[in-house]
Amino acid sequence: MASIGGLPHYKHGIAGTEMYEPVFSPMFSISFTPGKNLSSIANWNLVLNNVTKATGFDTGKIFPTVKTQSYMGAQRGYVGGKVPDQHQEIEISFEVNLGDDNDMYVFNALRAWCDLVYNPMTGKFGMKKNYVAENMIITQYNQDGGVFRQVTLDHPYPISAIKGPDNWDYDSDDIYKVEGWKLRVDDYDEAWKKSKSN
């Protein structure tokens, strides 16, 4: 039986000796069900091929607040009774390419979606039923493709504008990117592999 403790030899590190893989940040994919109003805007599978990063999902933020009382200077705390805000804001970043028709298909798709919420050229506001997608699913997996976590975002919609490629610079060789584009969801589901009970 292996001893626990002692010097930090390799054989004492269970994660190493059992060859447990780390969770790698780039091992994720995003799938998208656009719904009828968004389906005609773009080839969303092609758009999602240009995703570089997705951040902002935070289940930790919904923990209820702690309320305190005091008696003669001594404080005691309680978890509050108000249901915490459960909405989520997801930030997605894209690199932008030009398609066969010399169109910025990623930018065009995202801008058209934003225009369904509010069109700055006409001043028209949209109705929520017309600008939400059905869902977006973010899947995390290991090197073999084994899924260990999936987040389903219900009815996402944009809450930030798209900034165009308006920084012109002869000395730059940068690729134009859409950075930190925000989507909001009011409801979501999270499923992950749980540890086996001992």
Query: Where residue 159 sits, what CATH number does that domain have?
Result: 2.30.110
Is 116 within a domain? yes
Query: Residue written as tokens 């490629």?
Result: 165
pLDDT at residue 198, rounded to an integer = 45
Is 2 within a domain? no
Is 109 within a domain? yes
CB < 8 Å & 24+ apart, contacts of 189-196: 189/151, 189/152, 189/154, 190/59, 190/149, 190/150, 190/151, 190/152, 191/149, 191/150, 191/151, 191/152, 192/148, 192/149, 192/150, 193/147, 193/148, 193/149
pLDDT at residue 69, rounded to an integer = 92
pLDDT tens per residue, range 19-62: 888 888 999 999 999 988 899 999 999 999 999 999 988 877 77
Average pLDDT (152-167) is 91
Rounded to whole angstroms, the Cα distance separating 153 from 183 reads 10
pLDDT at residue 113, rounded to an integer = 96
Q: Domain containing 88: what range?
A: 24-58+76-192
pLDDT tens per residue, range 92-140: 999 999 999 999 999 999 999 999 999 999 999 999 999 999 999 999 9
Is 177 within a domain? yes
